Amino acid sequence: MLDAAPSDHGHVVLSAITKTYDGRHLVVRDLNLSIRRGEFLTLLGPSGSGKTTTLMMLAGFEYPTTGEIRIDGAPVHMMPPEKRNIGMVFQNYALFPHMTVAENVGYGLKVRRLPRAEIDRRVRAVLETVHLAQLADRRPGMLSGGQQQRVALARALVFEPSIVLMDEPLGALDKKLREHLQFEIRQIAQRFNLTVVYVTHDQYEALTMSDRIAIFNDGKVQQLGSAEDIYARPENRFVAEFVGDNNCLKGRVTETRGERTTLRLADGTQVAARTTGHVVTGGLSTAAIRPEALRMSGQPFEGSLAAKVSDSIFCGDQIRTVVELAGKESLVVKSAAHSAAIHPVKGQTVHVGWAWEDAWALDA
């Protein structure tokens, strides 16, 4: 599966979307995506993959070259941003430094000429939601980065939108604060049944916050699914290598029996993996295995491969061991530090292997 087919029941539906700035190079190509009401969808991918452009088209800051965007069935792809009733949160906060927190949050409502009492009510309510009511009279320069980002979130929520778009909103924060706000944003989205489209290049953020993740590369959605689907069942080599750590062994397919495929590596070693749609007998394929799925022992075991330790790193809760196979391919093995079967040292000969069900035969 590549792009998700649009659904008539989608809260937000993008159909056959393409985007080009110069008429030659497609930044987004043939994008079909259906987003459910109340869903937290993350667009994840490398720089230049098309994820931010897709978000900007949803917001109305960019228009598609072809295709259409519908919200609750109504076309909005040529509608200006202020007509879409969509909240937007940016990485750089974009707060007015001369205004107080309350004035920043209520500014858009003031521009829309809502009654003063209604503005005050909404601002108070949303500041309580993001735990900033006590800071309403402070200016942004007096706040921490995390507090400023909460103000930006409050400003997006004060319109009471059903859709909120977030463009790498936590990218400038330190790790601990970022993880805390990930949890808070997720809770707020669930409490108000918000449809959230969230752009990030942080894999951990995507895996922990999302109902579904769309993996972008070269303007296309490479895979769309839950965090578990994306991590445990990658549909191609790009997804396998981009999301989390993965070991990729390239070989030629020698046999396929049902769900099990056998590959012959360059040095003649035979390895097994799950069969996928990429497998063609006699063709090249890549066996992708997560580091935590590898077993390492000081003694040979069934299906194991001899390897030499080239590095071993203690990472607190785990040990990351890099080993080199006879054919010079390198593998990374993750072992829980407190229960590791062996504590390898550089130069040591070890034996590594995996259950064939834990590997996937993907495109070469």
Each residue of 99-139: pLDDT tens digit? Answer: 999 999 999 899 889 999 999 999 999 999 999 999 999 99
Identity of residue 275: T
User: Would 2 be classed as within a structural domain?
Assistant: no
Domain match, 266 and 224 both: no
Q: Which two tokens stand for residue 54?
A: 């897709």
Decide: 34 and 7 in contact? Cβ < 8 Å: yes
Query: Are the CB atoms for 194 and 162 separated by under 8 Å?
Result: yes
From 234, 361, 363, 364, select the one nearest 287 (Cα to Cα).
361
Query: What's the residue count for the chain?
Result: 364
CB 223 within 8 A of CB 52: no
For residue 48, tell me if it sits in a domain. yes
Specify the pLDDT at position 2: 37
- 210/288 same-domain check: no
Report pLDDT for 234: 93
**Is residue 303 one of the residues assigned to a domain?**
yes
Q: Are residues 81 and 190 in the same domain?
A: yes
Positions in the chain whose pLDDT score sits under 50? 1-8
pLDDT at 90: 85
The span from the CA of 156 to the CA of 94, in Å, is 12
Give pLDDT tens digits for 157-167.
998 898 999 99
For residues 7 and 5, what is the distance between their CA atoms, to the nearest angstrom?
Answer: 6
* pLDDT at res. 79: 92
Q: Are 274 and 177 in the same domain?
A: no
CATH number for 341: 2.40.50.140
The CATH number covering residue 169 comes to 3.40.50.300
Claim to verify: residue 253 and residue 198 sit in the same structural domain: no
Confirm if 230 and 203 have CB atoms less than 8 A apart: no
What pLDDT shows up at residue 37? 94
Q: Which of 219, 237, 255 is the last residue of a domain?
A: 237
The tokens of 9 are what? 């029941």
Q: How many domains does the chain have?
A: 2
Closest CA to 250 of 271, 281, 230, 234: 271
* Inside any domain, residue 127: yes
H or E element at residue 242: helix 237-242
Which of 197, 216, 237 is the C-terminal boundary of a domain? 237
- Does one domain contain both 145 and 255? no
Domain identity same for 216 and 277? no
pLDDT of residue 340: 63
Indicate whether 215 and 101 sit together in one domain.
Answer: yes
- Could you list the residue range(s) of the whole structural domain that residue 278 is in? 245-362
Q: Bridge-partner residues for 288, per DSSP?
A: 248, 360
Domain boundary among 209, 237, 265: 237
